[in-house]
Structure 1
Protein backbone atom coordinates (compact mmCIF):
# COMPACT_ATOMS: atom_id res chain seq x y z
CA UNK A 1 0.00 0.00 0.00
CA UNK A 2 1.34 3.45 -0.88
CA UNK A 3 1.96 5.77 2.05
CA UNK A 4 -0.55 8.37 0.82
CA UNK A 5 -3.18 5.62 0.40
CA UNK A 6 -2.35 4.40 3.90
CA UNK A 7 -2.92 7.89 5.32
CA UNK A 8 -6.23 8.24 3.48
CA UNK A 9 -7.35 4.86 4.81
CA UNK A 10 -6.60 5.84 8.40
CA UNK A 11 -8.05 9.34 8.00
CA UNK A 12 -11.30 7.92 6.69
CA UNK A 13 -11.45 5.06 9.17
CA UNK A 14 -10.88 7.36 12.16
CA UNK A 15 -12.86 10.32 10.75
CA UNK A 16 -9.93 12.57 11.58
CA UNK A 17 -11.37 15.61 9.80
CA UNK A 18 -14.10 15.89 12.46
CA UNK A 19 -11.68 16.88 15.21
CA UNK A 20 -9.98 20.16 16.12
CA UNK A 21 -6.87 18.78 17.77
CA UNK A 22 -3.69 19.77 19.60
CA UNK A 23 -1.37 18.19 17.02
CA UNK A 24 -1.64 17.28 13.33
CA UNK A 25 -3.50 14.04 12.65
CA UNK A 26 -2.25 11.86 9.81
CA UNK A 27 1.21 11.67 8.26
CA UNK A 28 3.69 13.57 10.42
CA UNK A 29 7.02 12.33 9.06
CA UNK A 30 7.26 11.01 5.51
CA UNK A 31 9.20 7.84 4.73
CA UNK A 32 9.26 5.21 2.03
CA UNK A 33 6.41 5.10 -0.47
CA UNK A 34 5.44 1.43 -0.10
CA UNK A 35 4.08 0.19 3.24
CA UNK A 36 3.95 -3.50 4.11
CA UNK A 37 5.13 -3.70 7.75
CA UNK A 38 3.68 -1.50 10.49
CA UNK A 39 4.31 -0.98 14.20
CA UNK A 40 1.66 0.70 16.33
CA UNK A 41 2.11 2.14 19.81
CA UNK A 42 0.92 4.70 22.32
CA UNK A 43 3.74 7.25 22.06
CA UNK A 44 6.37 7.90 19.39
CA UNK A 45 9.24 7.68 21.86
CA UNK A 46 12.74 6.58 20.96
CA UNK A 47 12.13 3.08 22.32
CA UNK A 48 9.16 2.61 19.99
CA UNK A 49 11.19 3.85 17.03
CA UNK A 50 13.92 1.36 17.95
CA UNK A 51 11.31 -1.43 18.03
CA UNK A 52 10.11 -0.37 14.58
CA UNK A 53 13.66 -0.35 13.23
CA UNK A 54 14.25 -3.85 14.58
CA UNK A 55 10.97 -4.99 13.00
CA UNK A 56 12.05 -3.38 9.71
CA UNK A 57 8.80 -1.42 9.71
CA UNK A 58 7.80 0.88 6.89
CA UNK A 59 5.44 2.86 9.11
CA UNK A 60 4.61 3.65 12.72
CA UNK A 61 1.11 4.60 13.88
CA UNK A 62 0.76 6.21 17.31
CA UNK A 63 -1.69 8.02 19.55
CA UNK A 64 0.88 10.54 20.81
CA UNK A 65 2.89 11.82 17.87
CA UNK A 66 4.82 15.05 17.35
CA UNK A 67 4.40 18.78 16.68
CA UNK A 68 2.07 19.67 19.55
CA UNK A 69 0.75 23.19 19.91
CA UNK A 70 3.07 25.49 21.88
CA UNK A 71 5.99 23.02 21.87
CA UNK A 72 9.50 24.22 21.05
CA UNK A 73 9.71 24.07 17.22
CA UNK A 74 13.50 23.60 17.12
CA UNK A 75 14.79 20.24 15.89
CA UNK A 76 17.42 19.71 18.57
CA UNK A 77 18.27 17.19 21.27
CA UNK A 78 15.67 14.46 21.79
CA UNK A 79 13.50 15.68 18.91
CA UNK A 80 16.49 15.62 16.55
CA UNK A 81 17.44 12.07 17.58
CA UNK A 82 13.90 10.79 17.06
CA UNK A 83 13.42 12.48 13.70
CA UNK A 84 16.91 11.51 12.58
CA UNK A 85 16.21 7.84 13.29
CA UNK A 86 12.92 7.94 11.38
CA UNK A 87 14.46 9.67 8.38
CA UNK A 88 17.60 7.50 8.35
CA UNK A 89 15.49 4.33 8.25
CA UNK A 90 12.89 5.82 5.88
CA UNK A 91 9.98 5.15 8.28
CA UNK A 92 6.65 6.94 7.93
CA UNK A 93 5.15 8.27 11.17
CA UNK A 94 1.38 8.70 11.52
CA UNK A 95 -0.21 10.23 14.60
CA UNK A 96 -3.88 10.21 15.63
CA UNK A 97 -4.76 11.87 18.90
CA UNK A 98 -8.44 12.69 19.50
CA UNK A 99 -9.62 10.50 16.60
CA UNK A 100 -8.02 7.50 18.31
CA UNK A 101 -9.67 8.41 21.60
CA UNK A 102 -13.15 8.83 20.20
CA UNK A 103 -13.64 6.12 17.58
CA UNK A 104 -16.77 4.21 18.70
CA UNK A 105 -15.30 0.73 18.12
CA UNK A 106 -11.51 1.05 17.79
CA UNK A 107 -10.87 4.00 20.09
CA UNK A 108 -9.21 4.08 23.49
CA UNK A 109 -12.47 4.88 25.24
CA UNK A 110 -14.33 2.12 23.41
CA UNK A 111 -11.58 -0.38 24.22
CA UNK A 112 -11.69 0.40 27.93
CA UNK A 113 -15.49 0.28 27.89
CA UNK A 114 -15.29 -3.15 26.20
CA UNK A 115 -12.79 -4.37 28.78
CA UNK A 116 -15.06 -3.54 31.71
CA UNK A 117 -18.25 -4.61 29.94
CA UNK A 118 -20.20 -1.36 29.51
CA UNK A 119 -23.45 -1.43 27.54
CA UNK A 120 -26.06 1.23 26.61
CA UNK A 121 -23.27 3.66 25.72
CA UNK A 122 -23.68 7.35 25.06
CA UNK A 123 -21.40 10.36 24.79
CA UNK A 124 -20.05 11.85 27.99
CA UNK A 125 -20.77 15.40 26.87
CA UNK A 126 -24.47 16.29 27.04
CA UNK A 127 -26.11 16.34 23.64
CA UNK A 128 -23.03 15.01 21.80
CA UNK A 129 -23.37 11.82 19.77
CA UNK A 130 -21.23 8.88 20.85
CA UNK A 131 -19.08 8.99 17.69
CA UNK A 132 -18.27 12.68 18.27
CA UNK A 133 -17.85 12.63 22.05
CA UNK A 134 -14.61 12.59 23.98
CA UNK A 135 -15.67 10.14 26.66
CA UNK A 136 -18.31 7.47 27.22
CA UNK A 137 -21.08 6.83 29.71
CA UNK A 138 -22.44 3.30 29.97
CA UNK A 139 -23.82 0.75 32.38
CA UNK A 140 -22.65 -2.55 33.82
CA UNK A 141 -24.90 -5.58 33.32
CA UNK A 142 -25.31 -5.78 37.10
CA UNK A 143 -24.43 -3.50 40.02
CA UNK A 144 -21.06 -4.13 41.68
CA UNK A 145 -19.54 -3.18 44.99
CA UNK A 146 -16.88 -0.46 44.72
CA UNK A 147 -14.26 -2.95 45.86
CA UNK A 148 -15.14 -5.44 43.11
CA UNK A 149 -15.29 -2.69 40.52
CA UNK A 150 -11.79 -1.55 41.45
CA UNK A 151 -10.56 -5.11 40.83
CA UNK A 152 -12.38 -5.22 37.49
CA UNK A 153 -10.69 -2.01 36.28
CA UNK A 154 -7.27 -3.15 37.47
CA UNK A 155 -7.67 -6.39 35.55
CA UNK A 156 -8.81 -4.49 32.43
CA UNK A 157 -5.70 -2.27 32.36
CA UNK A 158 -3.24 -4.77 33.80
CA UNK A 159 -1.99 -2.65 36.68
CA UNK A 160 -2.88 -1.34 40.12
CA UNK A 161 -5.16 1.69 40.02
CA UNK A 162 -5.81 4.68 42.24
CA UNK A 163 -9.38 4.37 43.51
CA UNK A 164 -10.99 7.13 45.54
CA UNK A 165 -14.03 5.49 47.11
CA UNK A 166 -16.73 7.87 48.36
CA UNK A 167 -19.23 5.41 49.79
CA UNK A 168 -20.30 1.79 49.97
CA UNK A 169 -23.29 1.81 47.60
CA UNK A 170 -23.04 -0.48 44.58
CA UNK A 171 -22.09 1.09 41.25
CA UNK A 172 -23.55 0.52 37.79
CA UNK A 173 -23.49 3.72 35.71
CA UNK A 174 -19.91 4.40 34.65
CA UNK A 175 -18.30 7.38 32.90
CA UNK A 176 -14.81 7.20 31.41
CA UNK A 177 -12.36 9.17 29.33
CA UNK A 178 -8.87 7.76 28.90
CA UNK A 179 -5.57 9.60 29.31
CA UNK A 180 -5.28 12.96 31.06
CA UNK A 181 -9.01 13.71 31.30
CA UNK A 182 -9.39 14.19 35.05
CA UNK A 183 -10.87 17.63 34.33
CA UNK A 184 -13.98 15.91 32.95
CA UNK A 185 -15.05 14.64 36.35
CA UNK A 186 -17.78 17.26 36.73
CA UNK A 187 -19.22 16.23 33.35
CA UNK A 188 -19.35 12.68 34.71
CA UNK A 189 -21.30 13.94 37.72
CA UNK A 190 -23.68 15.81 35.42
CA UNK A 191 -24.20 12.59 33.44
CA UNK A 192 -25.35 10.81 36.59
CA UNK A 193 -22.37 8.45 36.79
CA UNK A 194 -21.52 6.51 39.92
CA UNK A 195 -17.84 6.30 38.91
CA UNK A 196 -15.50 8.30 36.68
CA UNK A 197 -12.45 6.56 35.19
CA UNK A 198 -9.55 8.29 33.49
CA UNK A 199 -5.79 7.86 33.29
CA UNK A 200 -4.37 10.61 35.49
CA UNK A 201 -5.20 12.41 38.72
CA UNK A 202 -4.66 16.00 39.85
CA UNK A 203 -4.63 17.06 43.47
CA UNK A 204 -7.99 18.77 43.23
CA UNK A 205 -9.64 15.78 41.54
CA UNK A 206 -9.83 13.85 44.80
CA UNK A 207 -11.54 16.73 46.57
CA UNK A 208 -14.05 17.12 43.71
CA UNK A 209 -14.84 13.40 43.89
CA UNK A 210 -15.36 13.50 47.65
CA UNK A 211 -17.47 16.65 47.64
CA UNK A 212 -19.59 15.73 44.61
CA UNK A 213 -20.10 12.11 45.70
CA UNK A 214 -18.58 10.20 42.76
CA UNK A 215 -16.04 7.39 42.92
CA UNK A 216 -12.88 8.26 40.98
CA UNK A 217 -10.38 5.94 39.29
CA UNK A 218 -7.00 6.95 37.87
CA UNK A 219 -5.90 3.87 35.95
CA UNK A 220 -2.81 5.21 34.17
CA UNK A 221 -2.47 7.42 31.09
CA UNK A 222 -0.49 4.84 29.14
CA UNK A 223 -2.46 1.86 30.45
CA UNK A 224 -5.82 3.32 29.45
CA UNK A 225 -4.60 4.39 26.01
CA UNK A 226 -3.16 1.12 24.70
CA UNK A 227 -6.53 -0.02 23.37
CA UNK A 228 -6.62 2.19 20.28
CA UNK A 229 -3.16 1.29 19.04
CA UNK A 230 -3.89 -2.39 19.64
CA UNK A 231 -7.11 -2.13 17.63
CA UNK A 232 -5.35 -0.35 14.76
CA UNK A 233 -2.73 -3.10 14.56
CA UNK A 234 -5.48 -5.73 14.41
CA UNK A 235 -7.41 -3.74 11.80
CA UNK A 236 -4.36 -3.32 9.56
CA UNK A 237 -3.49 -6.98 9.88
CA UNK A 238 -6.93 -8.57 9.52
CA UNK A 239 -8.75 -6.11 7.29
CA UNK A 240 -5.88 -4.73 5.20
CA UNK A 241 -3.50 -7.68 4.92
CA UNK A 242 -0.50 -5.77 6.25
CA UNK A 243 2.04 -7.17 8.69
CA UNK A 244 1.17 -5.05 11.72
CA UNK A 245 2.11 -5.46 15.38
CA UNK A 246 1.48 -3.47 18.56
CA UNK A 247 4.61 -2.62 20.56
CA UNK A 248 3.88 -1.89 24.21
CA UNK A 249 6.58 0.44 25.56
CA UNK A 250 5.64 0.45 29.23
CA UNK A 251 5.15 3.66 31.19
CA UNK A 252 4.08 3.90 34.84
CA UNK A 253 2.35 7.24 34.25
Structure 2
Protein backbone atom coordinates (compact mmCIF):
# COMPACT_ATOMS: atom_id res chain seq x y z
CA UNK A 1 0.00 0.00 0.00
CA UNK A 2 1.18 3.51 -0.87
CA UNK A 3 1.27 5.73 2.22
CA UNK A 4 1.76 9.49 2.24
CA UNK A 5 3.23 10.57 5.59
CA UNK A 6 1.60 13.74 6.92
CA UNK A 7 3.71 15.44 9.60
CA UNK A 8 1.87 18.37 11.27
CA UNK A 9 3.77 21.64 11.35
CA UNK A 10 4.28 21.74 15.12
CA UNK A 11 5.72 18.20 15.10
CA UNK A 12 8.04 19.15 12.24
CA UNK A 13 9.23 22.21 14.17
CA UNK A 14 9.29 20.95 17.77
CA UNK A 15 9.27 17.14 17.70
CA UNK A 16 11.04 16.02 14.50
CA UNK A 17 11.97 12.77 16.26
CA UNK A 18 8.26 11.84 16.23
CA UNK A 19 8.14 12.36 12.46
CA UNK A 20 11.25 10.25 11.96
CA UNK A 21 9.91 7.46 14.21
CA UNK A 22 6.61 7.51 12.31
CA UNK A 23 8.38 7.03 8.99
CA UNK A 24 10.67 4.28 10.26
CA UNK A 25 7.85 2.42 12.00
CA UNK A 26 5.58 2.38 8.95
CA UNK A 27 8.44 1.12 6.79
CA UNK A 28 9.23 -1.60 9.32
CA UNK A 29 5.58 -2.66 9.20
CA UNK A 30 5.76 -3.13 5.43
CA UNK A 31 4.34 0.10 4.04
CA UNK A 32 5.63 1.92 0.96
CA UNK A 33 6.03 5.35 2.54
CA UNK A 34 6.70 8.75 1.00
CA UNK A 35 7.05 12.08 2.76
CA UNK A 36 5.96 14.93 0.46
CA UNK A 37 8.45 17.71 1.12
CA UNK A 38 6.11 20.54 0.07
CA UNK A 39 3.47 19.89 2.74
CA UNK A 40 2.47 22.72 5.06
CA UNK A 41 0.02 23.28 7.92
CA UNK A 42 -3.36 21.54 7.54
CA UNK A 43 -5.15 24.70 8.69
CA UNK A 44 -6.33 23.57 12.10
CA UNK A 45 -4.90 26.56 14.05
CA UNK A 46 -6.91 28.99 11.91
CA UNK A 47 -10.08 26.98 12.41
CA UNK A 48 -9.53 26.79 16.17
CA UNK A 49 -9.18 30.57 16.27
CA UNK A 50 -12.48 31.05 14.43
CA UNK A 51 -11.05 31.68 10.95
CA UNK A 52 -11.73 28.36 9.26
CA UNK A 53 -12.42 29.87 5.85
CA UNK A 54 -8.89 31.29 5.83
CA UNK A 55 -7.62 27.69 5.82
CA UNK A 56 -9.20 27.01 2.42
CA UNK A 57 -5.96 27.43 0.43
CA UNK A 58 -4.13 25.10 2.80
CA UNK A 59 -6.88 22.50 2.43
CA UNK A 60 -6.74 22.69 -1.36
CA UNK A 61 -2.94 22.38 -1.30
CA UNK A 62 -2.99 19.35 0.97
CA UNK A 63 -5.73 17.67 -1.03
CA UNK A 64 -3.65 18.03 -4.20
CA UNK A 65 -0.35 17.04 -2.60
CA UNK A 66 -1.69 13.78 -1.15
CA UNK A 67 -3.99 12.83 -4.03
CA UNK A 68 -1.88 9.90 -5.28
CA UNK A 69 -1.70 7.95 -2.02
CA UNK A 70 -3.89 5.06 -0.90
CA UNK A 71 -3.56 6.21 2.70
CA UNK A 72 -2.50 9.46 4.33
CA UNK A 73 -1.15 8.85 7.83
CA UNK A 74 -0.14 11.36 10.51
CA UNK A 75 0.88 11.27 14.18
CA UNK A 76 -1.68 13.79 15.47
CA UNK A 77 -5.31 13.03 16.29
CA UNK A 78 -6.44 16.67 16.32
CA UNK A 79 -5.00 17.44 12.87
CA UNK A 80 -6.50 14.26 11.40
CA UNK A 81 -9.90 15.14 12.87
CA UNK A 82 -9.75 18.63 11.35
CA UNK A 83 -8.98 17.23 7.90
CA UNK A 84 -11.80 14.68 8.15
CA UNK A 85 -14.41 17.10 9.45
CA UNK A 86 -13.28 20.45 8.05
CA UNK A 87 -12.17 19.67 4.52
CA UNK A 88 -15.61 18.66 3.19
CA UNK A 89 -16.67 22.25 3.97
CA UNK A 90 -13.53 23.88 2.59
CA UNK A 91 -12.62 22.03 -0.61
CA UNK A 92 -13.89 23.25 -3.98
CA UNK A 93 -15.54 20.56 -6.10
CA UNK A 94 -15.61 18.25 -3.10
CA UNK A 95 -16.22 14.60 -3.95
CA UNK A 96 -17.01 12.18 -1.15
CA UNK A 97 -14.65 9.17 -0.98
CA UNK A 98 -12.26 10.86 -3.44
CA UNK A 99 -10.68 13.64 -1.37
CA UNK A 100 -7.97 13.43 1.28
CA UNK A 101 -10.43 13.47 4.19
CA UNK A 102 -11.61 9.96 3.24
CA UNK A 103 -8.07 8.54 3.23
CA UNK A 104 -6.44 10.16 6.24
CA UNK A 105 -5.69 8.17 9.39
CA UNK A 106 -4.08 8.88 12.74
CA UNK A 107 -1.02 6.64 12.88
CA UNK A 108 -2.02 4.51 15.90
CA UNK A 109 -5.51 4.10 14.46
CA UNK A 110 -3.96 3.08 11.13
CA UNK A 111 -1.62 0.51 12.65
CA UNK A 112 -4.33 -0.94 14.89
CA UNK A 113 -7.24 -1.00 12.42
CA UNK A 114 -5.58 -1.35 9.00
CA UNK A 115 -2.17 -3.00 9.42
CA UNK A 116 -3.23 -5.12 12.44
CA UNK A 117 0.24 -6.43 13.33
CA UNK A 118 0.34 -9.62 15.40
CA UNK A 119 3.70 -8.52 16.83
CA UNK A 120 5.99 -5.53 16.85
CA UNK A 121 9.73 -6.04 17.26
CA UNK A 122 10.22 -3.43 19.96
CA UNK A 123 11.44 -3.37 23.55
CA UNK A 124 10.85 -0.70 26.19
CA UNK A 125 11.47 -1.95 29.75
CA UNK A 126 9.77 0.94 31.54
CA UNK A 127 6.50 1.80 33.30
CA UNK A 128 4.34 4.15 31.23
CA UNK A 129 1.10 6.02 31.95
CA UNK A 130 -1.32 6.44 29.04
CA UNK A 131 -2.41 9.94 28.08
CA UNK A 132 -5.74 9.84 26.24
CA UNK A 133 -6.25 12.97 24.14
CA UNK A 134 -9.78 14.34 23.75
CA UNK A 135 -9.77 14.21 19.93
CA UNK A 136 -8.34 10.70 19.96
CA UNK A 137 -10.93 9.37 22.37
CA UNK A 138 -14.09 11.15 21.31
CA UNK A 139 -13.51 11.73 17.61
CA UNK A 140 -11.33 8.82 16.49
CA UNK A 141 -12.28 6.14 18.99
CA UNK A 142 -8.73 5.41 20.14
CA UNK A 143 -10.29 4.40 23.46
CA UNK A 144 -13.78 4.19 24.92
CA UNK A 145 -15.03 7.43 26.57
CA UNK A 146 -15.60 7.05 30.30
CA UNK A 147 -18.95 8.86 30.09
CA UNK A 148 -20.46 6.05 28.03
CA UNK A 149 -21.65 2.78 29.53
CA UNK A 150 -19.62 0.63 27.15
CA UNK A 151 -16.90 -1.99 27.68
CA UNK A 152 -13.48 -0.44 28.10
CA UNK A 153 -11.04 -0.64 25.21
CA UNK A 154 -7.87 1.21 24.24
CA UNK A 155 -6.09 0.91 20.91
CA UNK A 156 -3.00 2.56 22.40
CA UNK A 157 -2.90 -0.05 25.16
CA UNK A 158 -3.37 -2.81 22.59
CA UNK A 159 -0.42 -1.57 20.53
CA UNK A 160 1.86 -0.91 23.48
CA UNK A 161 1.00 -4.39 24.77
CA UNK A 162 2.95 -5.77 21.80
CA UNK A 163 6.15 -4.14 23.09
CA UNK A 164 8.51 -6.36 25.07
CA UNK A 165 9.23 -5.38 28.69
CA UNK A 166 6.73 -2.52 29.00
CA UNK A 167 4.39 -1.97 31.98
CA UNK A 168 1.25 0.03 31.13
CA UNK A 169 -0.87 1.94 33.66
CA UNK A 170 -3.49 4.68 33.42
CA UNK A 171 -4.21 7.65 35.70
CA UNK A 172 -7.35 8.21 37.70
CA UNK A 173 -10.02 9.75 35.43
CA UNK A 174 -8.09 8.34 32.49
CA UNK A 175 -9.65 10.46 29.72
CA UNK A 176 -10.00 13.77 31.53
CA UNK A 177 -8.66 16.67 29.43
CA UNK A 178 -5.08 17.78 30.05
CA UNK A 179 -6.08 21.41 29.44
CA UNK A 180 -4.25 22.09 26.18
CA UNK A 181 -7.06 22.40 23.66
CA UNK A 182 -5.20 24.52 21.11
CA UNK A 183 -6.37 28.12 21.43
CA UNK A 184 -7.88 27.35 24.85
CA UNK A 185 -4.36 27.19 26.29
CA UNK A 186 -3.74 30.73 25.00
CA UNK A 187 -7.08 32.37 25.75
CA UNK A 188 -7.65 30.67 29.12
CA UNK A 189 -4.06 30.07 30.13
CA UNK A 190 -4.67 30.02 33.91
CA UNK A 191 -7.41 27.40 33.65
CA UNK A 192 -5.43 25.45 31.08
CA UNK A 193 -2.35 25.45 33.30
CA UNK A 194 -4.29 24.23 36.33
CA UNK A 195 -5.92 21.44 34.32
CA UNK A 196 -2.51 20.41 33.01
CA UNK A 197 -0.98 20.41 36.48
CA UNK A 198 -3.81 18.24 37.82
CA UNK A 199 -3.37 15.83 34.92
CA UNK A 200 0.39 15.58 35.36
CA UNK A 201 -0.04 14.89 39.08
CA UNK A 202 -2.49 12.10 38.24
CA UNK A 203 0.07 10.55 35.90
CA UNK A 204 2.86 10.93 38.46
CA UNK A 205 0.68 9.20 41.08
CA UNK A 206 0.77 6.02 38.98
CA UNK A 207 4.51 5.72 39.59
CA UNK A 208 5.20 5.74 35.84
CA UNK A 209 8.53 6.86 34.39
CA UNK A 210 6.91 8.15 31.19
CA UNK A 211 3.65 9.79 30.16
CA UNK A 212 2.89 8.46 26.68
CA UNK A 213 0.22 9.47 24.19
CA UNK A 214 -0.66 9.88 20.52
CA UNK A 215 -0.87 13.70 20.48
CA UNK A 216 2.39 15.64 20.79
CA UNK A 217 0.39 18.81 21.53
CA UNK A 218 -0.96 17.36 24.78
CA UNK A 219 2.46 15.98 25.66
CA UNK A 220 4.04 19.39 24.93
CA UNK A 221 1.57 21.08 27.27
CA UNK A 222 2.33 18.65 30.08
CA UNK A 223 6.09 18.73 29.42
CA UNK A 224 6.05 22.47 30.06
CA UNK A 225 4.50 21.85 33.47
CA UNK A 226 6.93 19.02 34.19
CA UNK A 227 9.89 21.28 33.35
CA UNK A 228 8.51 24.19 35.39
CA UNK A 229 7.83 22.02 38.45
CA UNK A 230 11.08 20.05 38.02
CA UNK A 231 9.38 16.66 38.03
CA UNK A 232 11.20 13.43 37.21
CA UNK A 233 8.59 12.01 34.82
CA UNK A 234 9.13 12.33 31.05
CA UNK A 235 6.82 12.47 28.03
CA UNK A 236 7.06 10.32 24.91
CA UNK A 237 4.94 9.75 21.80
CA UNK A 238 3.58 6.23 21.36
CA UNK A 239 5.31 5.80 17.99
CA UNK A 240 8.71 6.37 19.59
CA UNK A 241 8.07 3.37 21.83
CA UNK A 242 6.67 1.20 19.04
CA UNK A 243 9.78 2.04 17.02
CA UNK A 244 12.16 1.12 19.85
CA UNK A 245 14.53 -1.52 18.54
CA UNK A 246 14.98 -4.85 20.28
Please say whether Structure 1 and Structure 2 have the same fold, judged by a TM-score greater than 0.5: no
Instruction: Considering fraction of residues, name the structure with more strand.
Output: 1
In the superposition, the TM-score normalised over structure 2's length comes to: 0.31
In the superposition, the TM-score normalised over structure 1's length comes to: 0.31
Instruction: Considering fraction of residues, name the structure with more helix.
Output: 2
